[in-house]
Structure 1
């Protein structure tokens, strides 16, 4: 037997159903807001792990491309978290783990260690990245201590693509990047997506060349971008620049 609700009962039922659905949508939206930046960090982690697999299988050009994509993702996750007011301790740890994987482990494999000395250099590079991630705070607002590891990885990946994987050049560049990461010099926060319009254009250009151009063009673009940050950090990349 069907039970017929009075008009007032139907109205209350529909109202309750609407409020329940509205609350559900609000919870989903809040969940997406809180985890948008974490999703970008996870994507960076996936790029790093994929780069590791590519290197282990001899696909070093693909490994370099994945590192450069991780570079873009790393610049985006912090901006998204701050824009959505979704910064968290979990997000910071996930970001560090993704950075260590992509810019430490994956990048070190580009050195193709074939002997004890080569292996030692790769280990030292990973330790430099680890040290940089653990002790990046300078105590000075808007400043880092030591070269941020994504830029070191960008230089190494770009150098590999431009030189065809010349291991002598790669080892020299790796040693230079290690020195920059551990010397505790000051570098500004690279809030590319939260700064002047020209920096956003640089970012969009980086995304365009890495997805839609040949490797030489992309590698030269990222090499110039990274070198400009390394050698002209305050003049060009400070939040006041």
Structure 2
């Protein structure tokens, strides 16, 4: 999804580029659940996951900023470096907890804003700078396995799939924006609860 989004951005197809990033967001939430279900977890898989995250939520998302000037280019580089830093150095050492905003949520916000505003460069710059601050912050965010958690979270995910099917309508991206902002601003209220144990 990330590589396809990059190609769309380079060809001026920003609408498709945004929705490919949002598709990557959904797949990122699903890949771990699928790997665990199939008992296919491995060190190589973890490395490939980081590569996919860096491509989709770093490079592809930075290109949504539409680099037309030196300042835009610098912001795109800073965004990519923030994602790189977040992926490499911000392990919390605690199970089920991230330090710094996970980059898929920052990418989801940026892609949603891009769709909703038609790629407003002013809005994109502001949102990108805010997402950079959240990613390099030392704050804690829950690592909640959405597809292996409470039923209502699975319904949230299903809503994301429906919104993806409605990608021809820009307002469908509002769903991803609301979802991501709820995680960013209310992580412990909505997203910190673990799945009930099965005995």
TM-score, length-scaled by structure 1: 0.79
Contact preservation (8 Å) 2:116, 2:171: no
Aligned to 1:229: 183
Match of 1:142 in 2: 96
The answer to whether residue 15 in structure 2 is matched with residue 61 in structure 1 is: yes
Which runs of no fewer than 5 residues in structure 2 stay unpaired?
Answer: none
Counterpart of 1:190 (choices 136, 144, 148) is 144
Aligned to 2:165: 211
SS of 1:111 mapped into structure 2 = coil
Counterparts of 2:63 and 2:74, CA distance in 1: 12
Structure 1 position 103 matched with structure 2 position 78: no
Q: What's the CA shift for 1:212?
A: 3.2
Q: Distance in 1 between matches of 2:172 and 2:46?
A: 29
CA radius of gyration, larger in: 1
SS in structure 1 opposite 2:64? helix
Structure that is richer in helix per residue: 1
Structure 1: distance between partners of 2:37 and 2:187: 24
Contact 1:189/1:239 (8 A) holds in 2: no
**Cross-structure match for 2:36:** 82
Instruction: Give the match for residue 110 of structure 2.
Output: 156
- CA offsets, 1:38-94, max 9 Å, x none? xxxxxxxxx111100000010000000100000000000111112222211000000
User: 1:213 Cα deviation (Å)?
Assistant: 4.9
Alignment match, 2:24: 70
Partner of 1:177: 131
What RMSD over aligned residues (CA atoms) do the two structures have, in Å? 1.2
Please say if 1:125 is aligned against 2:79. Answer: yes
Q: Which has the higher contact order (CA 8 A, sep 6+)?
A: 2
Q: How big is the shift at 1:215?
A: 3.2
Task: Verify the 8 A CA contact 1:144 1:186 in the aligned structure 2.
Answer: yes
Runs of 4+ in 1 over 4 A off after TM superposition: none
**Contact conserved, 1:209 with 1:217, CA < 8 A, in 2?**
no
Q: Is the 8 A contact 2:5 2:60 kept in 1?
A: yes
Distance 1:65 1:198 in 2: 24
Q: What TM-score do you get using the length of structure 2 for normalisation? A: 0.95
Query: CA contact under 8 A between 1:145 and 1:184: conserved in structure 2?
Result: yes
Q: Is the 8 A contact 2:21 2:107 kept in 1?
A: yes
Cα distance in 2 between the residues matched to 1:168 and 1:131: 25
